[in-house]
């Protein structure tokens, strides 16, 4: 019979394997090892040459990836340097192709960036302080931006299309959209590409994200209709400009003063204007143990979202697990008269449509 202790030990070993394997996947993405293998099967020297890494490390990583089941091994030659490894079906879409709807190649780097600041997080737990978004660095910034990018570019027109009356407004020349907490700008760019008559303005508190958002918009050829400002969404003042739509994708839970943000945004809407919030798809109430979404969101909350929000000087500090009834309470407190869940299917997010 298996004892409780044995079951817990087995779980811990499985968790540690998953964590360490995720960091190995991070290395593969960061060093372009999967990309090199996308050109065809390679042995250790072939990978070392193509990716510019040392052959001994290439050999060990290939063996680790084969053992972990991420790479397929063709032949198990006794000479470790002669074994060849290849990407199995589907891996290119998940780890290499940044345009793929299945792309998750930026997730291991996000995990690694969070692990990299664990001492700061531990200190924040002790003191009640925070860890600024900027402290998490490029792995977090790019992780979030690149993970969300394919779905923004593919789906944002349909999401906005599901809000009654909004697409026709955005089809009018001179319409304006505000994209709050825009990060590296992919939602802002996707809105501009989907609604060519609209001017779209992204704001974010993080300086590096805003700088990259500007570069991304220029590279996509929409810089003439898209602009970005580093600003706190709770205090942003558009100097008289009014917006037809304000969007808030996966960031309301990160904002220190979500009610203040929604209140500020309400003042900036044209009469009949809308707010579209997309945030984590979590249950309406707490249950334990939770499903995979609750587990992932709580894990990110303790390690990233809550410390980053507290670094802003949190007033409300939702944490990542922002539940629908809480969003409804924020909307009511900020003076919105209508709050509805928007009819948008998504595995990981729920959408809310607010009108003044």
213 scored as a contact of ligand SAM (CB under 6 A): no
Cβ at position 305, least distance to ligand SAM in Å: 7
Of residues 43 and 204, the one with the C-beta less far from ligand SAM: 204
- What is the x/- site pattern for ligand SAM, positions 215-234, by CB under 6 A? -----------------xxx
**Using the rule CB under 6 A, is 200 a contact of ligand SAM?**
no
250 near ligand SAM, judged by CB under 6 A: yes
Give the span between the Cα atoms of 123 and 103, in whole angstroms.
33
Residue 244 binds to ligand SAM (criterion: CB under 6 A): no
Q: Which residue is nearest to ligand SAM (CB)?
A: 183
Question: Does position 268 bind ligand SAM by CB under 6 A?
Answer: no
Among 65, 84, 113, 148, binds ligand SAM (CB under 6 A): 148
User: How many residues contact ligand SAM, by CB under 6 A?
Assistant: 24
Reference 275, options 330, 214, 336, 317; nearest CA is 336
One residue of 183, 273, 307, 319 binding ligand SAM per CB under 6 A: 183
Cα–Cα separations (whole angstroms), residue 337 to 207, 274, 292: 34, 11, 34
Residues between 301 and 330 with contacts to ligand SAM, criterion CB under 6 A: 312
CA 113 vs. chain centroid, Å, equals 13
**In the bound complex, what is the minimum distance in angstroms from residue 289's beta carbon to ligand SAM?**
25
Residues forming a β-bridge with 352: 277, 341
Q: Return all residues near 40 (Cβ < 8 A) that are at least 6 apart.
A: 86
Number of residues assigned to the chain: 356
Contact 149, 98 (CB under 8 A): yes
| CA-to-CA dists, residue 134 to 44, 176, 217, 307, angstroms | 37, 29, 21, 12
**Which residue in 254, 279, 280, 317 binds ligand SAM (CB under 6 A)?**
254
65 is an interface residue for ligand SAM by CB under 6 A: no
Residues 6+ apart with CB under 8 A from 86: 37, 40, 41, 42, 71, 72, 74
Does 133 bind ligand SAM (CB under 6 A)? Our answer is yes
Name which of 183 and 273 has its Cβ closer to ligand SAM.
183
Of the residues 26, 107, 144, 246, which one makes contact with ligand SAM according to CB under 6 A: 144
| Binding test (CB under 6 A) with ligand SAM, winner from 25, 209, 297, 301 | 209
The least distance separating ligand SAM from the CB of residue 319, rounded to whole angstroms, comes to: 12
Please report how close the Cβ of residue 311 comes to ligand SAM at its closest, in angstroms: 10
Q: Is 258 in the site for ligand SAM (CB under 6 A)?
A: no
- Of the candidate spans 49-57, 98-106, 214-222, 250-258, the one that interacts with ligand SAM by CB under 6 A turns out to be 250-258
Binding of ligand SAM at residue 206 (CB under 6 A)? yes
DSSP letters, 231-269, are --TTT---TT--EEEEEEES-GGG-S-HHHHHHHHHHTE
| Closer to ligand SAM by Cβ: residue 163 or 182 | 182
Place of tokens 């063996």: 63
DSSP string, 186-214: HHHHHHHHH-TT-EEEEEES-HHHHHHHH
Residue 187 CB, shortest distance to ligand SAM, in Å, is 6
Among 110, 159, 195, 249, binds ligand SAM (CB under 6 A): 249
Give which of 76, 71, 84 is closest to 41, Cα–Cα: 84
Where do contacts with ligand SAM occur on this chain (CB under 6 A)? 133, 144-145, 148, 181-183, 186-187, 203-206, 209, 232-234, 249-251, 254-256, 312
């Amino acid at each position: 019979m298996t004892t409780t202790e044995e079951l817990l030990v087995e779980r811990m070993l499985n968790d540690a394997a998953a964590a360490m394997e995720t960091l190995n996947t991070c290395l593969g993405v960061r060093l372009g090892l999967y990309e090199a293998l996308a050109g065809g099967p390679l042995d250790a020297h072939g990978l070392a040459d193509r990716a510019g890494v040392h052959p001994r490390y290439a050999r060990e990583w290939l063996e680790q990836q084969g053992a972990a089941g991420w790479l397929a091994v063709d032949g198990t030659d006794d000479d470790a340097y002669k074994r060849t490894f290849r990407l199995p079906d589907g891996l290119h879409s998940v780890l290499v192709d940044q345009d793929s709807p299945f792309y998750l190649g930026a997730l291991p780097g996000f995990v690694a960036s969070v692990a990299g600041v664990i001492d700061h997080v531990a200190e924040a737990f002790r003191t009640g302080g925070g860890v600024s978004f900027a402290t998490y660095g490029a792995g977090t910034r790019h992780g979030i931006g690149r993970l969300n990018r394919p779905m923004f570019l593919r789906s944002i027109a349909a999401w906005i299309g599901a809000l009654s009356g909004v697409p026709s407004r955005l089809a009018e020349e001179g319409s304006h959209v505000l994209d709050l907490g825009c990060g590296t700008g992919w939602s802002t760019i996707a809105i501009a590409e989907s609604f060519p008559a609209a001017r779209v303005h992204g704001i974010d508190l993080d300086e590096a994200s805003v700088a990259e958002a500007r570069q991304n918009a220029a590279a996509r050829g929409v810089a003439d209709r898209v602009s970005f400002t580093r600003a706190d969404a709770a205090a942003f003042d558009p100097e008289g400009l009014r917006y037809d739509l304000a969007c808030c994708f996966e960031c309301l839970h990160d904002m220190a003063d979500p009610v203040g943000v929604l209140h500020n945004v309400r003042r900036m809407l044209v009469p009949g204007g809308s707010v579209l919030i997309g945030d984590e798809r979590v249950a309406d109430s707490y249950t334990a143990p939770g499903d995979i979404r609750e587990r992932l969101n709580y894990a990110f909350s303790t390690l990233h979202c809550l410390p980053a929000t507290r670094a802003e000087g949190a007033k409300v500090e939702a944490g990542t697990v922002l539940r629908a009834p809480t969003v409804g309470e924020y909307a009511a407190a900020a003076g919105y008269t209508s709050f509805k869940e928007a009819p948008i299917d998504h595995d990981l997010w729920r959408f809310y449509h607010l009108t003044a």
